[in-house]
Structure 1
Amino acid sequence: MSVVTLISLILLSLGFAGAEECTMYAAVGKNKVIDHGLELLGQSFHLRWTHDSKIVYDTRKNTEPKPQTTPNGSLLLTNLQLNNTGSYQVTIYDNMGKLVLDKTTRLCVLLPVFKPRLTHTCTDASVSLRCDVGNSVDVNVVWSHNRQTLPGSTDKTLTITKAMLKPVDRYVCTVSNKASEEKSDDVNPECTEDSSSTVLLFGMKLWLMVVILAGGGGLLLILIVITLVCVCQSRRRRASRIKEEEEMRLAPLTQPTRQASLHHHPPKSQSRTRTKNRTPSQATQNSRPLPLPRSPQPEPDDAPPIPIPRRTGPRNHRS
């Protein structure tokens, strides 16, 4: 059992050792020419191209679809995709059928890198530059300062001191893989004097937070005052309405008493005026209480008749 396992491991290692590595790289969507390395071929030569042992071009056979070739017979691949990855073999024979060239090229098609975005952050004594590569994987990063490559700077973050920073400095990060390359825009990492000492509160500047809180507090105070005024006015209107309703409820009970008091007690000014205009005798007589009027009583049937006085008129003297 151990011998079988050992043999399997040996064969597996030999298989990995014999695996072909990529000798040519290209990006998705690009064009690529696979050159066989010979000079211009004549019409008498027999040229054949294969992709993973499948014939894709043959001068003596019709292949569909037939790829393009250059004038010397090199293979031209357009609008590459990931499935174009593989081994491309070229075989050339002369007019006598003798093998002139047998060459294999391993092509690897990769996704292109995205254009990086360069940002910077200022701290107390340094500036941190960050090269954002997006979704690109297996990329190399190179930093440039004033178009001069910085050796040894291959990380996505570059830190420099403020003492080294100058107003004319320009920094660029270059991202690349084996198939494509992209550069970021030039960035001048400017830092204001108070940017590193700015006090933050809840992620915002302190003075801005103070203004916001002061404005909010003033608005809240105004709302409280308006609410108190509205409550006081509402209570006053309610009390006035209750008082009016109470007076209207008691009006039928108090109105006869007022009229009687007004009837029996005339105003003092009128009584005084009448008293001054009266004579003493009238004043004495009026000062006595007037007798109350008696209601007429029914006369009995056996009451004696009331004598009626005789009327005497002027007598006519006879002549």
Structure 2
Amino acid sequence: MSCKYSLLFLFLCGFAALSDSVKTCGKELLEGTSCTIKLEIETNKSPDEIKWFHETSETLILRWKEGAIKKIVESVSKEDDGSLTFKSVSLNDTGKYKYEAFNKDGTEIVKGVKEIKVFAKAPKPTVKANCKNGEATLTCDIGDRKDLNVSWYKENEIIKNEEKSQLVLTSAKVQENKPYSCKVSNPVSTEQSDSFTVTCTGGTSDGSGRRKLFGFDFWIMVSILAGGGTLLLLLICVLIICACRSCKKQKNLEQDEDELRLRVFHDPASNGTARSKNTARGQPAPPIPQVDTSPDTPPPQTQPQPKAQIRARPPPPPEDDDEYPPPLPRPRNKQHRKRNEEPYRPME
């Protein structure tokens, strides 16, 4: 027996919950709600025809006549008493609804108008800060919603309650290192942002202590600039090293050319068989006669060469005349000296 009562109790609870789920439509509704607009008619009158109109758009929503539905839109349904039920109201359902009831002979029994307003659920706002010159300006970000009221809180105490357009809390009312939040609401829903602590450390930041440079995070920009500066410094060092090596190579090449010129200049002088192109007096030297070195040809007779005259050494300059020393004697042509210094060979 107790089991039967338990099942009956569960059935009644389910029926009550089902009937509570479809409530009477109030004037202000949350989007997505199911509700019913009651047809206000006396119980002793049984209408033969019922019409529901969306008066704002002048659209026929429901027509019932002689126990059958002649026209109905998808988003609504008819109750047994002629009431209009919305399965899920939307923003487009906002407006005034007119109903009419007639008896069998077409006489109007009752008519009336019901109005509903549908609101979207309020989004959760976000507090954003803009720091400039050490002062912060707070903004309650709610997107493009225009149907919301905004309230500002500091340390969970309301400090400003303005409607709709007051989304910005000026820097005159913002204190650093204090938690702030904003609450948005409409007649059917309310949402509050997370607590936000303002920290402006000079320069420009987003209010959360993170400094900005060129609109980006300060330390990220510092890292990028440091990396770019390091690469630039490395490139400059490479260019300097290449320039130094090029200069050193050019200098070594010039030294090699100078040494080659000196070597070419000194080689004819160190060779005993080489002759000067000019004599000591600046006249061109005579050509060297070709000597036949064949074994049948007797060697040519050499003429005795006069001995070189021995000249006396010039006297030394006076000791008191140190200011203007006499010029040093210039040596004679090496070829001429060698020719004079050849040993005497008697004629055979």
TM-score normalised by the chain length of structure 1 = 0.50
Higher relative contact order (CA 8 A, sep 6+): 1
**Structure 2 length-normalised TM:** 0.47
